[in-house]
Amino acid sequence: MKYKDYYAALGVPRTANLDDIKKAYRKLARTYHPDVSKAPDAEARFKEAAEAYATLKDTAKRAAYDELGHPSPGKEFRPSPEWQQDFAPGGAGFEDMDLSELLAAMGRGRSAERQQPMATKGRDYESSVTIALEDARRGSTVQLNLADTAGDRTLEVTIPPGICQNQKLRLRGQGGKGLYGGPDGDMYLTLHLSPHAVFRTDRHDIYFDLLLTPWEAALGAEVQVPTLDEAVLLSVPAGTRAGRKLRLRGRGLAAGHSDLYAIVHIDVPGTLSPREAELFKALAEASSFNPRATLPKESSHG
């Protein structure tokens, strides 16, 4: 039988109390969990720490282990006959047993169940996916190709309707595999929205620029505008000014709970026909409207 130094495995002195032993084990378990560490010896270090903890956390097993003395780690040794009489299960020999097997089964005049390492939750994963605004409004299904300790796998994810930029979905149990009966970890999926040629978003609301002619803005009009579903008619009130927001209720990303806003911009023809120029001149002569009338007059100095 080869001796194993459980105190050295956990990095604690032989005088360590139970709290110190627990803290040391948890730190090592987090560091060398196979789903977290990429070190080639991570799994072996994790199992070594779990084996040491299973013995040292149990008062009776730790007492039995301490009575073995302190042989050189990895060297063959044989416990004393008195130790065998006190601790070997049923008085059986232990020539073919591993030290951890013997300590897991030992008892003072009683049989003991084999101690299992502490159940550990699997690692949580993070990923991201980019979808179109139309899919964000209506909902969609995407496939994620994942590579983890279990190998390559494809995960089909249902995106609910009404999501917004940088929203996160929690996919329970889709992370790393749990160890020793622990639950599987979760997947946290961050959702990004593709840039759109027409629309931009602010949380669940949608915005776009609406170009109006001067007469549409002044007289009012019914104009056809795009949405993520289909084109609709929008009523432009008479006297609409540039910068005004015209709302289409329920047309945002979260249908029925968010809105689409048309931001008004007034546009003019780049080139006027003779008739258009004549009409604009007539309007200029007939109108008393002066958008700069409220600007402060320049003070005179004399």
* Structural domains of the chain, with CATH: 6-105 (1.10.287.110), 125-193 (2.60.260.20), 200-285 (2.60.260.20)
pTM for this predicted structure: 0.61
41 φ/ψ angles, rounded to the nearest 5 degrees: -100, 15
Predicted confidence (pLDDT) per residue in 10-40, tens digit: 999 988 999 999 999 888 888 888 777 778 8
Average pLDDT of the chain is: 85
145 φ/ψ angles, rounded to the nearest 5 degrees: -100, 115
What confidence score (pLDDT) does residue 109 get? Answer: 40
Which position has the higher pLDDT, 275 or 178?
A: 275
Count the alpha carbons within 13 Å of 298 in the hemisphere toward its beta carbon. Answer: 3
What confidence score (pLDDT) does residue 256 get? Answer: 87
The mean pLDDT value for 263-287 works out to 95
Predicted confidence (pLDDT) per residue in 56-110, tens digit: 888 878 878 887 777 777 667 667 666 666 665 554 455 556 677 667 666 444 4
Winning range, highest mean pLDDT, from 10-14, 49-53, 262-266: 262-266
What confidence score (pLDDT) does residue 239 get? Answer: 96
pLDDT greater than 70 at residue 278: yes
* Dist. CA 14–CA 180, nearest whole Å: 27
Which position has the higher pLDDT, 190 or 36?
A: 190
DSSP conformation letters of 144-200: EEEEETTEEEEEEEEEPTT--TT-EEEETT-SSPPBTTPPP--EEEEEEE---SS-E
Which position has the higher pLDDT, 251 or 59?
A: 251
What confidence score (pLDDT) does residue 111 get? Answer: 39
Q: Per mean pLDDT, which range of 113-127, 141-155, 240-254 is the poorest?
A: 113-127
